[in-house]
Structure 1
Amino acid sequence: MSYKVMHICLSDGWGGLEMYPARIIPELQRQGWEAHGLALAGSRVAESLAAAGIEPLTVLSRGRALLQVGRILAYLRRHGIEVLHCHKSSDLRLGALLATLRPTLRLFFTDHMGVTRPKKDLYHRWAYGQITRLFAISEATLKRNLAAFPLPPERIRRLYLGIDLSPYAPQLDAVAREALREELGVAVGQVAIGLPGRLTDGKGHAVWLEGLARLRERAPSLSWHGVLIGGLTAREGSDEAYVAQLRTRVAELGLVEHVTFTGFRPDLPRLFEALDIVCVPSRNEAFGLTVVEAMAAGKAIVGADSGAIPELLEAGCGRLAAPHDPVAWAEAMAELGQDAALRQRLGQAACARAALHFDVTTHVKALISEYAGKESKP
């Protein structure tokens, strides 16, 4: 077979799902595969693919993509592409149509979101029936996938996501780190407690802020500063109305002088260096990419005891707190905030676990093994 794959992501949003193709393209190429992309014209996905070194085929809308199926098939034939990989369930209409019209295509789908309802009606039986392999990104989503999708268990596989770990290795000297902390509003000697990620409902910002308010009571002698890392606009992947609600709640809790909104930052690995504790209070993560990034950076982590996060953050690598309990968050942050040696031990264990299980090289090796597999579609 030809070692070529087209990643299809017709999304105008910007999150982990949309970032995935560009994240793995360099490693795909390093392992001998030629990558192509199909994206919406002008989207962040299209921009990220171009930045990763490939010029994607673009369409104006999902509807236009279906109308231009002949153009897409011609592109696949011209480039000798036999593998398609979809990342949004809505893109499977196109992927399944392409696979129906050209039965030699192998179609893969990653369920990045974690399906929440059964998909076994006539349409979904047809669309998912064209899939060679469906990837669940955690054990938590695998259970839901097995129950929801009209596929036999052997065609669904759990495949953890992976990242390039190298950017998260420390690079700043003491002076540069202190300068960055000062830029983030963290005073000398303060414990920096960060929450990275999109500012959207479901990511747990509210319980984290409530936890910070209670942290003042739980550990009155602890000097700390909270850092909210994430875009503040829709273009940057955040919910602007939600951002406004968070700012209001910060004021109501008397935390204006204690919490910094950084806005979008392209230097997240360096920001991790400036933090002492990383919090991920998302209520129902299908995977938890931010957790893995913080692990790779060797940070002490508090994660929500829900979704896939407990799988990633095993005992000895961090702390878990109930996603709706601000008191539990305050207690976990107080424990880590008051014990620098504990933070170091947890961070070292987390970093070792990330290297063992969540490296992009390992992920892509498993992925291309599936791409090149001998299984045939029914």
Structure 2
Amino acid sequence: MPSSLTEIEVIAPNFKRKLSGVTSTIVQLIPLQRAKGLNITTIGPGLPPSLPRIGWSSLLGLWSRPKHRPFRIWHARRNNEMLAGIVLRWLCGSRLKLVFTSAAQRDHKPFTKWLIRRMDAVIATSGRSGSFLKVPHRVIMHGVDTSLFHPPANADDRFEASGLPGKYLVGCAGRIRPSKGTDLFVDAMIALLPHYPDWSAVMTGRTTAEFANFEAELRSRIAAAGLQDRIKFLGEVPDVRPWYRRMTLYVAPSRNEGFGLTPLEAMASQTAVIASDAGAYAEMITPETGRVVPAGDGEALRQAIEPYLADPAKCLAAGQAGLAHVRANFPLEKEAAQILDVYETLFAGGSR
């Protein structure tokens, strides 16, 4: 779906072919932003054909002003996209202002700092990521589509559809690897499930060849504990959403994370959440919706999980609170509106 360059107000580049969290953000936000009247388009590989886009040759025409704005905005989310925006503006004389969204939760390298200082506006996806920025910025946290992630609605959303023994399900999602804390989750389940026979556990997510031995070791631990019927690796499921709804408790045990959407997706599904303090998890979970523990602390994770297994009613109350919390504070529409406000602030600031 090509776009006419004269109408384009904002360009959201995607310079990575493989699917990533950044790509997913672009895919979800652009339709909402266009529905608000913003003429925004994409450029780059790895995006669905349903999104509006311009070709690489169109960049030669960026020296001209758009039809209804004094300049265009180039919204980068990666270093190479920031660099491209700088090149287009300063070397090609393009009429652009530059926006960068930062999700990194670490001190930036000198080159990245140099790039960021040349942006006209900077967005941080969490307070923690913002704390590493040395420039003025606005915190806009990611949201979740509450029409796609919603409470159980039919029989397929219930625990019984899982085919697992017991009455309740605890689970985690994400690739099977140490950085995601899969081993911490497995160890907690091995320690706890013998005491709580009404519960089973699942992990959804792909295991790459690099971590095949890691998964095999976890499977050996589970088998040695005699829990292979109650702790399951599901692999990469076609649709993770029903699994969130089948869970009574969701666990996000990551050792490190960029932002991390899965707790929001679980809460939007009316599921209680326990998470590490990796990524932005601590900024999305309240005492009413679940618990947050230090990243990498397996014992703290086990201790946080046990009261919820012991009292499923506690999970139900936290799940209801989480649903209300996400709908009030983390709808995807709110993220789109806040980013649009950043754009409008730049447009209102004058011409380039």
Short-chain TM bin: 0.7 to 0.9
Could you report, residue by residue, the CA deviation over 1:38-76 in whole angstroms, capped at 9, with x for unpaired residues?
Answer: 123xxxx323xx2xx225346xxxxxxxxx6x6523378
Q: Percent identity, please.
A: 21
Alignment check: 8 A CA contact 2:189 2:231 kept: no
Paired residue for 1:214? 191
Count of residue correspondences: 338
Paired residue for 2:172? 195
Q: Give the deviation of 1:83 after TM superposition.
A: 1.5
Provide the rounded CA distance (Å) in 1 between the counterparts of 2:350 and 2:108.
25
Provide the rounded CA distance (Å) in 2 between the counterparts of 1:35 and 1:264.
32
Q: How does 1:111-190 map to 2 (within 5 A)?
A: 111-114=102-105, 116-120=106-110, 124-125=113-114, 127-146=115-134, 151=135, 153=136, 156-174=137-155, 177-178=158-159, 180-182=161-163, 186-187=164-165, 189-190=166-167
Amino acid at match of 2:154: D
**Structure 2 regions of 5+ residues with no counterpart?**
1-5
Amino acid at match of 2:119: I
Amino acid at match of 1:105: L
Return the match for 2:61 from 74, 82, 98.
74
Provide the rounded CA distance (Å) in 2 between the counterparts of 1:355 and 1:10.
32
Paired residue for 1:231? 206
Could you report, residue by residue, the CA deviation over 1:119-178 in whole angstroms, capped at 9, with x for unpaired residues?
Answer: 445x852x33431111111111111123xxxx3x2xx11111112111222353236635
Matched, 1:110 2:88: no
Alignment check: 8 A CA contact 2:27 2:47 kept: no
Structure 2 SS opposite 1:141 = helix
Provide the rounded CA distance (Å) in 2 between the counterparts of 1:87 and 1:371.
15
Provide the rounded CA distance (Å) in 2 between the counterparts of 1:376 and 1:197.
44
Q: How does 1:281-296 map to 2 (within 5 A)?
A: 281-296=253-268
Provide the rounded CA distance (Å) in 2 between the counterparts of 1:338 and 1:91.
49
Compared with structure 1, are the counterparts of its residues 376 and 339 closer, same or farther at alpha carbon in structure 2 (3 Å cutoff)?
farther
Compared with structure 1, are the counterparts of its residues 175 and 3 closer, same or farther at alpha carbon in structure 2 (3 Å cutoff)?
closer
Could you report, residue by residue, the CA deviation over 1:303-329 in whole angstroms, capped at 9, with x for unpaired residues?
Answer: 003442111101111012232222222
Q: Give the deviation of 1:333 after TM superposition.
A: 2.3
Provide the rounded CA distance (Å) in 1 between the counterparts of 2:107 and 2:128.
14
Compared with structure 1, are the counterparts of its residues 355 and 83 closer, same or farther at alpha carbon in structure 2 (3 Å cutoff)?
same
Q: How does 1:277-356 map to 2 (within 5 A)?
A: 277-356=249-328
Paired residue for 1:64? none
- Mean Cα displacement is larger for which, 255-264 or 12-21? 255-264
Paired residue for 1:252? 221
Provide the rounded CA distance (Å) in 2 between the counterparts of 1:342 and 1:33.
43
What TM-score, normalized to structure 2?
0.86
What TM-score, normalized to structure 1?
0.80
- Mean Cα displacement is larger for which, 173-182 or 350-359? 173-182
Q: Give the deviation of 1:353 after TM superposition.
A: 1.1
Alignment check: 8 A CA contact 1:76 1:82 kept: no
Amino acid at match of 1:104: R
Paired residue for 2:88? 98
Return the match for 2:18 from 13, 16, 39.
13
Compared with structure 1, are the counterparts of its residues 120 and 37 closer, same or farther at alpha carbon in structure 2 (3 Å cutoff)?
same
The RMSD of aligned alpha carbons is 2.7
Compared with structure 1, are the counterparts of its residues 312 and 176 closer, same or farther at alpha carbon in structure 2 (3 Å cutoff)?
closer
Provide the rounded CA distance (Å) in 1 between the counterparts of 2:26 and 2:305.
34
Provide the rounded CA distance (Å) in 2 between the counterparts of 1:228 and 1:88.
30
Matched, 1:241 2:213: no
Amino acid at match of 2:31: P
